[in-house]
């Protein structure tokens, strides 16, 4: 009897484990893709509305609403959301919504932005990530953004740059939350995206950062010819395979250097360079500083 119980337990655990592994695999792919997204924050405006406010609209840009005071009702795809202080709501371009106030006054930020991935300047369109984000899910990132927004309002030098950086962190955390909380019946097309076909390629690169990687190896992993692969990769990710590998190798090298226990020569070998001189040139090309200045 005990053996049967154990077998049943394993049979129940394995599908769950596989599901979690698949989820992490997709998040790893998503993380690699996000690292090459161009996030363009076009504007940020603070708006106050009275209880009489009622709006039916579709924006031309991506919009992130951040509630500062009061409570509003948002209706999207026939679903209703009560959005209150510090909650957020993500809207896509041309996505029809209805909104109205639930309190005598309400105040919120409109953050207008665009996202580019390679040559695709509507990179989010195929990912069903629009919708409600509770305050607790992005509390720290929201607090940082609001702090820099206040500095921006007070004309503190460089605050606009800090604000945009904080917005990028907020948006990435938001993407992760929305992706992990997609409804079971979601029509998510992430696996159909061009970047999804590169899953084995990205896995191959990550597993082989300690040695030189050829385009031929990557093309073979993707099941493409070398020439077609280079074009496909650049269109999907936004950079050439060589540049992508360079960025990942130097990022890994920087991590090793900050451990303060490896020489430049050792780090060079750990990321697939035969000598420290070619490694140093590559590192300086990316970070504009010699690796010897870090250790």
CB-based contact 109:66 (threshold 8 Å): yes
Take residue 112 and report the two structure tokens written for it: 């207008």
- Average pLDDT (100-121) is 83
Domain 38-180 has CATH 2.60.120.810: yes
Please state, in angstroms and rounded to a whole number, the distance separating the CA atoms of residues 185 and 235: 30
205-259 pLDDT per residue, tens: 988 999 999 999 999 999 999 999 999 988 877 778 998 899 889 989 999 999 9
Res 234: pLDDT: 84
Res 5: pLDDT: 32
Instruction: For 19-59, give the secondary structure using H, E and C.
Output: HHHHHHHHHHHHHHHHCCCEEEEEEEEEEEEECCCEEEECC
% the chain with pLDDT above 90: 55
Please state, in angstroms and rounded to a whole number, the distance separating the CA atoms of residues 192 and 189: 5
193-293 CATH pick, 1.20.200.10, 1.10.10.60, 3.40.50.960, 3.90.105.10 = 1.10.10.60
Please state, in angstroms and rounded to a whole number, the distance separating the CA atoms of residues 109 and 95: 18
Question: Does residue 261 or residue 25 have the better pLDDT?
Answer: 261
**pLDDT interval class at 96 (50, 70, 90):** very high
Please state, in angstroms and rounded to a whole number, the distance separating the CA atoms of residues 68 and 145: 12
Domain ranges of the chain: 38-180, 193-293
**pLDDT interval class at 188 (50, 70, 90):** low
Please state, in angstroms and rounded to a whole number, the distance separating the CA atoms of residues 93 and 268: 45
Beta strands in the chain (DSSP E): 38-50, 54-57, 62-69, 71-76, 79-84, 88-91, 97-101, 105-116, 131-133
**Please, which residues have CB within 8 angstroms of residue 4's CB and are 6 or more apart in sequence?**
none
* Helix, strand, coil share (%) of the chain residues, nearest 5: 50, 20, 25
């Amino acid at each position: 009897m005990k053996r049967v119980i154990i077998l049943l337990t394993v049979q129940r655990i394995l599908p769950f484990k596989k599901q979690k592994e698949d989820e992490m695999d997709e998040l790893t792919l998503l993380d690699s893709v996000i690292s090459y997204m161009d996030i363009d924050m076009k504007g940020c405006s603070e708006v106050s509305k009275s209880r009489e406010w009622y709006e039916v609209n579709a924006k031309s840009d991506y919009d992130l609403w951040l509630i500062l005071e009061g409570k509003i009702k948002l209706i999207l795809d026939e679903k209703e959301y009560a959005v209150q202080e510090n909650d957020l709501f993500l809207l896509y371009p041309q996505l029809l919504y209805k909104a109205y106030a639930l309190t005598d006054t309400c105040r919120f930020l409109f953050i207008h932005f665009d996202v580019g991935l390679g040559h695709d300047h509507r990179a989010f369109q195929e990912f069903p990530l629009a919708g409600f984000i509770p305050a607790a899910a992005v509390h720290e990132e929201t607090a940082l953004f609001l702090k820099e927004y206040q500095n921006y309002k007070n004309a503190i030098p460089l605050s606009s740059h800090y604000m945009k950086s904080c917005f990028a962190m907020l948006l990435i955390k938001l993407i992760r939350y929305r992706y992990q909380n997609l409804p079971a019946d979601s029509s998510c097309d992430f696996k159909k995206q061009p970047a999804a076909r590169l899953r084995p390629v990205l896995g191959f690169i990550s597993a082989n950062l300690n040695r030189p990687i050829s385009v031929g190896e990557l093309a073979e992993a993707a099941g493409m010819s070398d020439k077609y692969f280079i074009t496909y990769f650049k269109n999907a990710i936004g950079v050439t395979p060589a540049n992508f590998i360079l960025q990942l190798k130097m990022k890994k090298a920087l991590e090793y250097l900050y451990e303060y226990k490896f020489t430049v020569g050792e780090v060079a070998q750990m990321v697939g360079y035969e000598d420290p001189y070619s490694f140093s040139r590559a590192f300086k090309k990316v970070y504009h500083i010699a690796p010897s200045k870090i250790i």
